[in-house]
Amino acid sequence: YSFEPSSDLTSITLDGCSISILVNACHLPLTSQTESEDYMTWVHYVVLRIQPFSETRTTSAAVGLMLLQARSSYCPESGEEDVRKAIESARDAFPAWRSQTGRARSRILRRWYELVHENRDDLARLIWLENGKIISDAYGEVDFANSFLEWYSEEAARIYGDVIPHSSSGFQVSAVKEPVGVCAMLVPWNFPAAMVTRKLGPALAAGCTVVIKTAGETPFTANAIVVLAERAGVPKGAINVVTALDNTPLVGKALCQSDIVRKVSFTGSTRVGKLLMEQSASTLKKLSLELGGNAPFIVFNDADIDVAVQAAVASKFKSSGQTCVCANRFMVQSKIYPEFISRLKCAVSKLSVGLPGEDGTTMGPLISAAAADRMKLLVDESVREGAEIELGGHKRDEVGPAFFAPTILSNVQKDMRICKEEIFGPIAPVSRFDTEEDAINAANECDVGLASYLYTTSLNRSARCSTALQSGMVAINTGVISNAAAPFGGIKHSGVGREGGRYGLEEYLQIKTIVAGDTLADHRARL
């Protein structure tokens, strides 16, 4: 099919499926080098609205390319009726999907993985357009997202139960694992592809059907991934998408309070996670909540400083500091404190802030101008309380309203606000400590516990500290903590449950105990 770029709304019928294409061409961030076929590819993936996934609505949620502060295109603003239809669609699709063999679901997930790989370029473009990630990070996210589809395609056929010896003769006990049922998922904007597949992969592998509420700031990547799921053979109704920006609280409440929905998986702030838990209480749902963090980054005197600095740049400034496991509080032992600051400044000063699609850019914008304004407030408040700016500390308005310079603060004290809140931006506050006990006590002195980072060449110290740190994940001598095969999640106010690996699959399963009587066999001796 084809249409003119100047058209505003085009409706067509393709294979019996009603499709609405909403185009606001004058606001698309096209450059003079962009060819018309590139424009068509972008529109094809970005603004498809397919009725089995999302009901047509007359109202729309504006989605802004925050780096340009311009409206690009729209997704429907779903309401309670849309949520109800999506839940019922998932309920109706559940019996057939759960009845497929694990091997059959595995083949569909594998084909989905292959399609995502084949469309890697388009998906990466979508991520940098709507999220603002630099192109290398966008490609990295596509590959990371796809790793979950690959891993769970391999795991779908290996959901094992147990045969348990009974305490009395003549009985047999089996523990069988079954899909939970209809699952609701609420995903964040900072990983518009990876957070979708990290939840959908295990849910579909387990035999569950899904209603997914995508982030209002970044809905198009998820839409494209779901279109590819349908092409891979995921049946109608197994995945249902609702989109909302202004209506997000209403949609979340409707999902949590539904008796049909048996599980809710949410990635986002601790405040919202607690609210969703309250809203789910009356229906006693299974919950997976991956919430806020305040990751300590501890560097001991015996650490390899080059390794620590490289890891600091990776864990702090990736995606402009907008990940839940970003290093938040840098703690460096006194002896190496000056050298660490010096080397970190040298490494961070090489970062190039600019538009994500431009050659040479190594750090893009924050999600909004408001986020950049908050960074400035945190820096100014810290300086007033005695911190010193070693690098950056200011907005980059000449690039755009959502850009902030990569920043290093020294002489930071643990009671400053910047050490108590999740920064979610490109600011590295560095404090010093004297003893191992001081570092561990400071690291644990917060109500969240998602990730911790530890740098030492001492095997004994790494064992002691990884045990003592109160967090769900500990990275030793590395700045990368996420992997499809590893369980991801926190303790304390950082949430409940795990995503990734076989532990992530267990979140979408429930155990049924089957006790059979009158099973005593008449065993006879044979020569």
b vs e for 260-291, b when ≥16 Cβ sit within 10 Å of the residue's Cβ?
A: bbbbbbbbbebebbebbbebbeeeebbbbbbb
pLDDT at position 368 is 92
Place of tokens 């004297």: 434
Q: Give the DSSP letter of residue 402.
A: T
Q: Give the DSSP letter of residue 453.
A: E
pLDDT at position 356 is 87
Domain ranges of the chain: 80-291+494-513, 295-476
Place of tokens 């995503």: 499
CB distance 465 to 440 below 8 Å:
yes
Element (H, E) at 287: strand 286-290
Place of tokens 């065993």: 523
* Homologous superfamily of domain range 80-291+494-513: Aldehyde Dehydrogenase; Chain A, domain 1 (3.40.605.10)
Burial class (CB in 10 A: 0-12, 13-18, 19+), 153: buried
CATH architecture of 295-476: 3-Layer(aba) Sandwich (3.40)
Q: pLDDT tens digits, the chain, 527 residues: what are they?
A: 233 333 333 333 333 333 333 332 222 222 223 333 332 233 333 333 333 343 333 222 223 333 333 445 678 899 999 999 999 999 999 999 999 999 999 999 999 999 999 999 999 999 988 999 999 999 999 999 999 999 999 999 999 999 999 999 999 999 999 999 999 999 999 999 999 999 999 999 999 999 999 999 999 999 999 999 999 999 999 999 999 999 999 999 999 999 999 999 999 999 999 999 999 999 999 999 999 999 999 999 999 999 999 999 999 999 999 999 999 999 999 999 999 999 999 999 999 999 988 889 999 999 999 999 999 999 999 999 999 999 999 999 999 999 999 999 999 999 999 999 999 999 999 999 999 999 999 999 999 999 999 999 999 999 999 999 999 999 999 999 999 999 999 999 999 999 999 999 999 999 999 999 999 988 888 76
Q: Tokens standing for 501?
A: 């690996």
pLDDT at position 402 is 94
Place of tokens 């929905």: 261
CB distance 254 to 213 below 8 Å:
no
Q: Tokens standing for 129?
A: 């357009």
pLDDT at position 154 is 98
How many C-beta neighbours within 10 Å does residue 80 have? 12
CA-closest candidate to residue 186, choices 112, 285, 101, 98: 285
Q: Which residues are catalytic?
A: 290
Place of tokens 């109800």: 84
Distance, CA of 26 to CA of 452 (rounded, Å): 45
